[in-house]
Chains A and B, each alone.
Chain A
Amino acid sequence: MGEWSSARVWRSRVYRYRLIAGRCRSCGRAHYPPANACPYCGSRDLDEVELPRVGRLISYSVVYATPFEDRDRSPVVIGLIDLGIARLVAEVVDVKPGDLRVGDRVEAVFRRIAVDGNTGLIVYGIKFRPVRVG
């Protein structure tokens, strides 16, 4: 459908691939994805921090009302995830929705986020899945 321009995919690749968050040098808080100013105190004095790859599931929703292109992995689980220094919303994969519990440990995994039609780009990024190894 041509929604993902090369430039847009390219610009955002680093934070999408590596869980790079913004961190405010003024108030110390982290936010993901990195913004132009701290969402908490408004400071533009920011640096970057790589977020932990393991966190906990605060809440989740099992979404059946998904777009057609995501039907192959529906229902899609959307989770609110606490990574300690920041929270984020992300897709939770590799689990039967019925097996998921609030409080579960989840780990970051590198996945396809979107595939743009038959000829467009493959967009990669981070999703999460329940930790079962180690």
Chain B
Amino acid sequence: MALMPERGAGIHGWGVYIPRFRIPMQEIAREWGWPDHQWRALGMMEKAVAGPDEDSTTMGLEASLNAIRRAGVNPKDIGAVFFGTESKPYAVKPSATIIAEAIGATPLTMASDLEFACRAASEGIKASIGLVTSGMVKYALVIGSDTAQANPGDVLEFTASSGAAAFIIGSSKGSAAVFEGSSTYVTDTPDFWRREGSPYPRHGEGFTGEPAYFAHIIGAVRGLMDKLGLKPSDFNYAVFHQPNGRFPLKVGEMLGFKPEQLKLGLVTPMIGNTYNGSALIGLARILDYAKPGERILVAPFGSGAGSDAYSLIVTDVVEEKRGRAPLVDDYINDKISIPYSVYAKFRELIRVVRE
């Protein structure tokens, strides 16, 4: 078996943030003349909407604070902050530095914004594993946060939502979940993109499925299982990138996972696709409930395209950390329903001319 540096790293703290506002699917369907079949086919109920004073940075910071609370680390020991997003508040100016400053990790830390559609934060996890196991940094903070954009009226609008997840990665010693191995699968596949200056992304609809989402996740997960000599039944939980409520179930089935393994990590039907937070909020929810010794597969995906698959083994430390911050379910259940008009205003779909 190949050398597995991943085993020297683990998750010390996890945390999420989901904004309070929700728009039910019927609201979007009614506004744009979609039949209800459209969103039912996506396996969606409602999606989270960031408030007018929220953005990927503010949500990322809240998730980071929750992760730090669980990790119980001194922010000064965080040597790297990776902020994965495709909805940067500034086109040029890092969000990672704002978060690093707000948590008190500055100035002796790395801080970078990463971009790879919905998979940037996942690559941040992989980079963090390398930094931690090489001894270059003690802890790394990885954040996936998006206020996902969708062209109004596009079918993407049903799912594109807002939320964030954050993880403190450190040595496997004392961690709540130890990385067992990882695998990455990347090709040049134009399934979803947004050009510089364009407010909304474009996508290949069906093309985002087979050659993109499914091919890459399957490639990464099979690569991981081959590497580790594992089969689907060896995992207690599996969580995949969740652009809607159906794709993760389907890719799980294609890989040989059972719906029970997928259920806990599937959050998109309740909150929508939080892009960089998508699979990672699912992972956080699994950590909220998993028992020591259980094995988790997590496979984020990013358009363009690529997927990472990670295997994690939960340790007995998980239980003492759990209560230190709100659970994913606390955020899912804490909601205020808003109509389309308010959603449109909050997400700046209404053009307001300012001075």
Taking CB atoms and an 8 Å cut-off, the chain B residues in 332-355 that contact chain A are 334, 336, 345-346, 348, 352, 354-355
Report A133 CB to chain B, min CB distance, Å.
4
What is the minimal beta-carbon distance from B320 to any residue of chain A, in angstroms? 16
Say if the beta carbon of A46 comes within 8 Å of chain B: no
Report how far A66 CA is from B62 CA in the complex, Å: 27
Among B53, B326, B331, B352, find the residue whose CB has the most chain A CB atoms closer than 10 A.
Answer: B53
- The answer, among A94, A113, A124, A134, for a CB contact under 8 Å with B20, is A94
Q: Is the CB of B54 within 8 A of A111?
A: yes
Q: Which of A69, A96, A109 contacts B58 (CB 8 A)?
A: A109
A44 touches B (CB below 8 Å): no
Is there contact, CB below 8 Å, between B330 and A134? yes
Give the secondary structure class of A's interface.
mixed
A69 in contact with B101 (CB, 8 Å): no
Q: Is B57 an interface residue (CB 8 A)?
A: yes
* List of A residues within 8 angstroms of B89 by Cβ: 122
Residues facing B in A97-134 (CB within 8 A) are 109-113, 117-118, 122, 124, 127, 129, 132-134
Please determine whether B52 and A72 come into contact, CB atoms closer than 8 angstroms: yes
Q: How far is the CA of A113 from the CA of B19 in the complex (A)?
A: 17
Q: Is B228 an interface residue (CB 8 A)?
A: no
CB atoms of A134 and B58 under 8 A apart: no
Q: Is A65 engaged at the interface, CB distance under 8 Å to the other chain?
A: no
Q: Per DSSP, are chain B's interface residues mostly helix, strand or loop, or mixed?
A: loop
Q: Which residues of B contact A109 (CB under 8 A)?
A: 58, 62
Closest to A69 in B: B354
Q: How many interface contacts (CB-CB < 8 Å) are there between A and B?
A: 67
> In the docked arrangement, what's the CA distance between A10 and B102, Å?
12
A7 at interface by CB-CB < 8 Å: no
Whether A112 and B355, one on each chain, are in contact in the complex, defined by CB atoms closer than 8 angstroms, is no
User: Does B53 lie within 8 Å of A112, measured CB to CB?
Assistant: yes
- Cα A56 to Cα B305 in complex, Å, equals 47
List residues of chain B with CB within 8 A of the CB of A127: 53
The answer to whether A132 and B62 touch (CB under 8 A), given A13-B101, A94-B51, A111-B54, is: no
Residue in contact with A18 in the complex, picked from B57, B102, B331, CB distance below 8 Å: B102
- Which A residues lie within 8 Å of B54 (CB)? 111-112
B98 interfacial contact with A, CB 8 Å: yes
Indicate if the CB atoms of B354 and A133 lie closer than 8 Å. Answer: no
State whether B104 touches A18 (Cβ < 8 A).
yes
Contacts of A72 in B (CB 8 A): 52, 345-346, 348, 352
The contact sample of 13 A-B pairs, CB cut-off 8 A, is A69-B354, A73-B52, A73-B53, A94-B21, A109-B62, A112-B53, A117-B354, A122-B57, A124-B58, A127-B53, A129-B20, A133-B326, A134-B326
Chain B contact residues, CB within 8 Å of chain A:
19-21, 51-55, 57-58, 61-62, 89-90, 98, 101-102, 104, 326-327, 330-331, 334, 336, 345-346, 348, 352, 354-355
Q: Which residues of chain A have a CB within 8 Å of any CB of chain B?
A: 1, 13-14, 17-18, 68-69, 71-73, 93-96, 109-113, 117-118, 122, 124, 127, 129, 132-134
